[in-house]
Chains A and B, each alone.
Chain A
Amino acid sequence: MQQSNRLRPFFENITFDRVDNEMILNFGPQHPSAHGQLRLMLHMQQEQITKAHPDIGYLHRGMEKMAENMIYNEFMPTTDRMDYIASSSNNYGFALAVEKLIGLEVPRRAKVIRMLLLEVNRLMSHLFWLATTALDIGAMTVFLYAFREREYLMDLVEDYCGARLTHAAIRIGGVPLDLPDNFMADLRKFLDKLPENIKDYEDLLDKNRVWLMRMENVGVISKEMALSWGCSGIMLRASGVKWDIRKEEPYELYDEVEFNVPVSDKGDNYARYKLYMAEMRESAKILYQVADMYEGTSPELMAHAPQYISAPKLDIMTQNYALMQHFVLVTQGMRPPVGEVYIPTESPKGELGYYINSQGGPYPYRLKLRAPSFWHTGILTDLLPGHYIPDVVSIIGTTNIVFGEVDR
């Protein structure tokens, strides 16, 4: 039996007195192919869209406000929930921003582990993108295949940090744990199989007639539009701008590894799809190189900066001063210097930036999360008009937006 409540049907008090054929279509906020809680108000002329209003905020959880009320280390798990498909890359962005603010240098083994995590996360994210986009367009097989591979990657991350989805695997100043024994062997086993798997997906999709019809020349983003909308990552590279922060402003060990940045100048859905596939291959290449770097690094995992970072567990358990310092850092939090910093990193979705304004207190005075998906959602306003209803789904798919990141 239904209980009464005050909710009334939409459009109850709208009178349609105009005689043109314009129809208003409400898409979302809970739509299976919206990749989260996107609501679109589409003005239609028959099947064609004339105006689009993306409405976001259905997953706004107030993360920036939370950051202002949390000590720096406390905020780390919250960053997981931003881009929850590749959570380590969010952890990393935040850790890097705070490290730059303090001026910390991270030990080499921690850098290697971070690189491994970042690239594993990139693979996870791209596989997930492929799975969901293919599912939206109707390729159920690819969904099942891509999820199969993604599960192996999740096993790897789980072996490392114990969590499947929300890793919190990176700390400010390093990483908390060393790699487990079987990690490298499992990773190599997976990487050896990956090219075959990617080839499987491409065999299924590349020349598939339905896939081509839904992808080719749909959702074309010009170079000017991509720049003006602040696009980054694959959205930008598919439109002919060769800009990858890993290459241009290298952080961590990206200047020591060799990889290509795939670019396309088509700007349509198909170009983006090809770039995702190419980036997976590049990630595998990076992972092979980083795996070789691991051997021969000294076992330190956290930077030595007693003012900001707790000492290693052994010191805390044996030395009185280290224990006191640890107590102060856990209860009161570190106090970074006064200043502000904006640090961009290349997350799987694009440029993930953290702006931190510190006033010397244990809480950031202002923390702004620059999430790439926010602008990739905004671009739908200009991108959708002129397209047809079925194109909406494929365009949303290839923009690769995650709503934890859009709304924060």
Chain B
Amino acid sequence: MAQHQVNYLKDGGLPVALTTIDKVVNWGRSNSIWALTYGLACCGIEMMASGASRYDFDRFGTIFRASPRQAELMVVAGTLTKKHAEFIRRLYDQMTEPKWVISMGSCANTGGMFNTYATVQGVDRVIPVDLYLPGCAPRPETLQYAVMMLQQKIRKEPASRSQKPKRLM
């Protein structure tokens, strides 16, 4: 017979938390956003800096993955050219649902200063984008704020949302 008895109701409460499945799943999702390394140009360097020592992205649970199949966030960091457009779509298709896209920097948003024949005028012509991040190049703090905004967005939507096709086709 156990001599020791725990009075759950008295000491610190039950080891049980009551919540909804939505909240648990979203808590998990929003705090382990694994991002696909999609450094295309200058912004890619700032993306690396935000993963490196001073800005330390790991504390948000954001770890950069090299494979689209292990990633749920695509940070499009840099200029997307017409020659590359096909490949960004390919890699986006390879990511598993649910997936989000942050368009980092002016070039990815609108083509930015590169208003030329070779530049796609905004990645949203090719893949659907969740967050646009202004700046040329945005500072690491900006990217971190964007990821926080994305976390809020993830928490807002139901975890078992029906998989609606996003806009763009």
Contact = CB atoms under 8 A, between A and B. Distances in A.
Nearest to A28: B87
A233 to B, nearest CB: 19
Contact of A32 (B37, B78, B165): B37
Q: How large is the interface on A (under 10, 10 to 19, 20 to 34, 35 or more residues)?
A: 35 or more
B4 interface: no
Nearest to B169: A3
Contacts of A4: 169
Contact of B52 (A77, A85, A131, A164): A131
Nearest to A408: B118
B52 to A, nearest CB: 4
B84 A58 contact: yes
Given A61-B79, A61-B81, A403 B116 contact: no
Contacts of A77: 113
A397 B137 CA distance: 24
B82 to A, nearest CB: 9
B81 A147 contact: no
Contacts of B40: 30, 36-37, 59
Contact of A62 (B78, B87, B117): B117
A29 B81 contact: no
Interface string A1-18: 111110100000000000
Interface string A126-148: 00100110000000000111011
Contacts of B163: 1
Interface in B66-110: 66, 78-79, 81, 83-84, 86-91, 93, 97
Nearest to A143: B52
Contacts of A166: 42, 136-137
A144 B139 CA distance: 18
Given A147-B54, A148-B53, A60 B118 contact: yes
B118 A66 contact: no
Given A1-B164, A60-B118, A166-B136, A84 B45 contact: yes
The 5 A-B pairs at the shortest CB distance, nearest first, are namely A147-B52, A62-B116, A84-B42, A32-B66, A1-B163
